[in-house]
Chain A
Amino acid sequence: MTAGRFRGRPRLLLPPAAMLGFALVMAGLGYGAYRYQGAQAQRQGYARLNYLASQKAARIDDWFQERAGDAAVTASDPLLLDHLLGLGPGAGPDPALGRDLAQRLATLRAAYHYRSALLLGPGGDLLAGAGEAALLPWEAGALPAGTAPAEPRFIWEIHPMPGGPQLRVSCLTAVLAGAPARRLGTLVLRLDVEAFLDRVLEPWPGPTSTGEMLLLARHGDSACALNRTRLPGAAVLSVPMTLTERVGVQALLKGDGPEQGLDYHHAVTQGYSRRLASLPWVVLAKVDREEFLQPVRQLSLLYSGMAVLLAGALALFLAAWRDRERAREAVERGRLEAESRSLGSQLAALSRYSNEIVLVLDPGGRVLEANEQASAAYGFSREQLCAMRIQQLRDAGAVGDFEQQFATVVEQGAVRFRSVHRRRDGSRFPVAVSSLAFELEGRPFIRSIVLDITEQAQAEERSRQLNEELERRVAERTAQLETAFREMEAFSYSVSHDLRGPLRGIDGFSLALLEDFGGQLDERGRHYLQRIRHGTQTMGKIMDDLLDLARLSRQELVRETVDLSGQARELLADLAGPEAGAVQLVIQDGLAVQADPRLMRMALGQLLANAWKFAGRRPGARIEFGQAVPPGDCPVFFVRDNGVGFDMAYAGKLFTAFQRLHDIAQFPGTGIGLAIVQRILVRHGGRVWAEAELDRGATFFFSLPV
């Protein structure tokens, strides 16, 4: 769950990052678009101004061409020529001709709305005219008569009328005659700017607040606006050509192109100028920069607005995202907390009613939580425990390196160990501790389950004591047994040496007595000596058997494969002696066991000797050795004879030393043989038993473990 939360972190940051990236890209694109659109708008602005200026210039050109045409036609009028030609030196003007001329000029003026139509004589004197008759001095001398060349034929000039604000355009046309042509006079057509130019120039297509069209011309060192400006007073605008910052001056200096400069309001102005084709005048279409940049500004405003909107949207989005994430985290946290709480309460419940001591520690060993059992066991309240360190609960003498155990649980996550803890009253108790490291909200903790093992330890101690006691007893018994063995050995040795010696002496000297002094004794005396000798020899035999029996207990067993069939055959052959054939012998072939060969020979020998003793002298005697069937877990062998047998009521006494079931005179023996057999088989882990019937023979069985 924790890992999942960590994994989820990049996912959390992705949308805002993407959003921010998107916003940056959009801003970049927007800025680019703004720059492009701005440049485009400027270009469009200039193109529009260019268009306006070109159109106006063309119209003015046309108009002037027309007027020039009119003037040329009028100047070629024969009436004019005649009139002028009639003015010879000394000849007065023809009054009739003069009237016609005046009539013609009046008609011309009226037809084309000229302010004036005047004919000047060769001396610049007014010959005839219609309209405003006032002749301006520059008009009189502009085209002096008589002199060649013919050019210029036309002079256009804009000028104010003396004593008034009105502007006039004067078109001076030379009246030519003869070849080569010479000037006879000047036709002056004077126009009202207000009535004409202003009508042409003023209308600004489309709405504008600062758009203005100027027709500019240079007058000496001044730049003049030929049309009326929005200058208050409608005065003729005239500025020195040296003011190159003025847009009008620039237009006159450069012409035919975009212009930027100050206008007569000293406002920054953007314009486009176009020279006229027919006159050295320039049409300038201009607007204030404010207005010119209006589209760009609008565009920038639009983009700014969009950027603001975008930023706002982004901010809103981020805020919403953050809120959502926070909400999600809060939900997740709530879920985790709830889980942790429920887990915690489960654990707490588990711990509280646990029979073991449960402690929660921090990695420094400080007790953070302790259950009821802990309070009961240590004798401290939960609050007291929570102010302690685990080291304080440990007995100072406890074995084991505390630091190492603690390091182990922190490193490996879990550890089990034994220790000794101390109660409040100072008493100690042994404990088995199982510590587990766990993490909660990213912090490591250790939970130790402490089991009071006092009873277990006591049981172990008791068990240990018992073991010790047992071992001590075993050692004691062993020592006693060893002593007994040693004593028995000494006894055996003593018997074999010290008792046999005197016996031999009794027997030897009895014999010597018989041999040397037998003649001096009567039959009874010799009989007694025989009885003495018989007794000593029997006693010697008994001592030998007893020593064999004693030796069996301490003799080491050497196990190897023993050919029982072969041994039985040899032993019976020895028993039979030279007179073989009197007894029927049945020996099963191939019987073998893992046993001590010498001891097995002794046991088998005893059994066969017994059989021989009890059956051998009877007619039809038969002795059998074989393996009983079924074999069972371990092989069972038997020695069977058809001799005198015995009463099964006494079977229990068979294998006890010195117990005899038969008359010693008839069947001599020491009574130790079967005891030896039993001792040998028991030492091999086997057993021996017998089945018999009086006078019907006996069968001795013995089994040996495989």
Chain B
Amino acid sequence: MEKQTILLVEDNPDDVELTLRVLKTHNLANEVLVARDGVEALEMLHGAGGKPPVKLPTVVLLDLKLPKVDGLEVLRRIRAEPATARLPVVVMTTSREERDIVTSYELGANSYVQKPVGFEAFSEAVRFLGLYWLLLNVSPGQ
């Protein structure tokens, strides 16, 4: 099995740690890259200042509420760049605002997942996402 990577774009360290814990518990990812804000995520995906982009992850788990460049903008730029236009992006956010959901899908999000408050449900959601995107889904690039 080819090495699977996940790019987690999340500024909340609690969420980062809990997400990593779930992924690790269920042994879903070989490697998880973490970007703490939108700028960092875009630099990793598209490269910046002579630094080449990282190897494209299998899926991007993208929070919407991010410092510097917010998640929706990150999504827009991912879709605008040919290299990442087809990259699977799952929006994972605490927002239940409808406009966020609609905008996300309009910008080409592959999924939209609301992070529940209860950790068990959250854990379940992450596990399911990891299973789906890393094990079941066949990405166009593969």
A and B: partners? yes
Is residue B112 within 8 Å, beta carbon to beta carbon, of the partner chain? no
A503-B117, A540-B118 in contact; A508/B18 too (CB < 8 A)? yes
Taking CB atoms, residues of chain A closer than 8 Å to B21 are 508, 512
B93: chain A residues at CB < 8 Å are: 497
**Interface pair A507/B118, CB less than 8 Å apart:** yes
Which of A493, A509, A537 contacts B117 (CB under 8 A)?
A537
> Is A500 at the interface (CB under 8 A from chain B)?
yes
Across the two chains, which residue of chain B brings its CB closest to A493? B97
Instruction: State the CA gap A541–B97 with chains docked (Å).
Output: 15
B115's nearest neighbour on chain A, judged by CB, is A504
Residues of A within 8 A of B (CB): 492-493, 496-498, 500-505, 507-512, 533, 536-537, 539-541, 543-544, 547
B122, A508: Cβ atoms under 8 Å? yes
Q: Are A509 and B14 in contact (CB under 8 A)?
A: yes
Pairwise interchain contact A505-B94, C-beta atoms closer than 8 A: no
Q: A504-B115, A504-B116, A508-B122 are in contact. Are A496 and B14 (CB under 8 A)?
A: no
Smallest CB–CB gap between A116 and chain B, Å? 180
> Taking the nearest CB of chain A, how far is it from the CB of B38, in angstroms?
15
Name the one of B14, B95, B96 contacting A504, with C-beta atoms under 8 angstroms: B14
Q: Is the CB of A505 within 8 A of B118?
A: no
Contact residues in B for A503 (Cβ distance below 8 Å): 117
Tell me whether A511 and B14 are in contact in the complex, defined as CB-CB below 8 angstroms, given that A493-B95, A497-B95 are known contacts.
Answer: no
Given A540-B116, A540-B118, check contact A497 B94 (CB 8 Å).
Answer: yes
A492 to B21, CA, bound (A): 29
A533 to B116, CA, bound (A): 13
Q: How far is the CA of A539 from the CA of B118 in the complex (A)?
A: 10
Q: Give chain A nearest CB distance to B102 CB in angstroms.
A: 13
A395 to B118, CA, bound (A): 81
Q: Which of A496, A505, A536 interacts with B95 by CB under 8 Å?
A: A496
Question: 1/0 per position for B87-103, CB-CB distance to A under 8 A?
Answer: 00000011111000000
Q: Which of B15, B94, B97, B120 contacts A511 (CB 8 A)?
A: B120
> Can you show 18 pairs from A to B with CB atoms below 8 A apart?
A493-B97, A496-B94, A497-B65, A497-B93, A498-B65, A502-B14, A504-B15, A504-B94, A504-B116, A504-B117, A504-B122, A505-B12, A505-B15, A507-B118, A509-B14, A537-B117, A537-B118, A541-B117
With the chains together, A228 CA to B73 CA distance in Å? 169
Partner of A508, one of B94, B96, B119: B119
CB distance from A547 to the nearest CB of B (A): 7
Q: How far is the CA of A536 from the CA of B116 in the complex (A)?
A: 11
Q: Considering the complex, give the chain B residue whose CB is closest to the CB of A547.
A: B96
**B residues near A, CB below 8 A?**
12, 14-15, 18, 21, 65, 93-97, 115-120, 122-123
Q: Using known A-B contacts A501-B14, A504-B122, A508-B14, determine if residue A540 contacts B117 with beta carbons closer than 8 Å.
A: yes
Q: Please determine whether B18 and A505 come into contact, CB atoms closer than 8 angstroms.
A: yes
- A538 CB to nearest chain B CB (Å): 10
Query: Which residues of chain A have C-beta atoms less than 8 A from B118's C-beta?
Result: 504, 507, 533, 536-537, 540
B13 to chain A, nearest CB (A): 9
The docked-state distance in angstroms from the alpha carbon of A536 to that of B119 is: 10
Interface centre among A496, A536, A539, by most chain B C-beta atoms within 10 angstroms, is A496
Q: Are B119 and A496 in contact (CB-based, < 8 A)?
A: no
Smallest CB gap from B118: residue in A: A537
With a cutoff of 8 Å between Cβ atoms, the chain A residues found around residue B96 in the complex are: 496, 544, 547
Q: How far apart are B63's CB and chain A's nearest CB, in angstroms?
A: 9
Contacts of A536 in B (CB 8 A): 117-118
**Using Cβ atoms and an 8 Å threshold, which residues of chain A touch B95?**
493, 496-497
Given contact pairs A504-B14, A536-B118, enumerate 8 new A-B contacts (beta carbons under 8 Å).
A497-B94, A501-B15, A501-B94, A505-B14, A505-B18, A508-B18, A512-B119, A543-B117
Which residue, of A503, A504, A510, has the highest number of chain B Cβ atoms within 10 A? A504
Rounded to whole angstroms, the CA-CA distance of A508 and B21 in the bound complex is: 10
B122 to chain A, nearest CB (A): 6
Q: Determine the distance from Cα of A533 to Cα of B120 in the docked complex, in whole angstroms.
A: 10
Contact of B94 among A500, A512, A539 (CB under 8 A): A500
Query: Taking CB as reference atom, which chain B residue is nearest A555?
Result: B98
Determine the chain B residues whose CB is within 8 A of the CB of A502 once the complex forms.
14
Q: Which residue of A lies closest to B12 (CB)?
A: A501
| Chain A hits for B18, CB < 8 A | 504-505, 508-509, 512
Q: Which residue of A lies closest to B119 (CB)?
A: A508
Q: CA A512 – CA B116 in complex, angstroms?
A: 16
Min CB–CB distance A478 → chain B (angstroms): 22
Kindly state the separation between the CA atoms of A503 and B116 in the bound complex, as whole angstroms: 10
What is the bound-complex CA distance between A508 and B15, given in angstroms? 9
Residue in B closest to A500 when the chains form the complex, CB atoms: B94
Residue in A closest to B93 when the chains form the complex, CB atoms: A497
Write the chain B residue with the least CB distance to A541.
B117
Q: In angstroms, how far is the closest chain A Cβ from the Cβ of B23?
A: 13
Q: Which of A496, A501, A533 contacts B97 (CB 8 A)?
A: A496
Shortest Cβ gap from B114 to chain A (Å): 9
Whole-angstrom distance from the CB of A14 to the nearest CB of chain B?
Answer: 98
Q: How far is the CB of B22 from chain A (nearest CB, A)?
A: 9
Which residues in B have their C-beta under 8 angstroms from that of A497? 65, 93-95
CB distance from B64 to the nearest CB of A (A): 8
- From B12, B15, B96, B122, residue with most partner A Cβ within 10 Å: B96
Q: B25 to chain A: closest CB distance in Å?
A: 9
Q: Name the residue in B97, B115, B122 with the highest tally of chain A Cβ atoms < 10 Å from its Cβ.
A: B97
Using Cβ atoms and an 8 Å threshold, which residues of chain A touch B119? Answer: 504, 507-508, 510-512, 533
Contacts of A493 in B (CB 8 A): 95, 97
State in angstroms the CA–CA spacing of A493 and B65 once bound together: 10
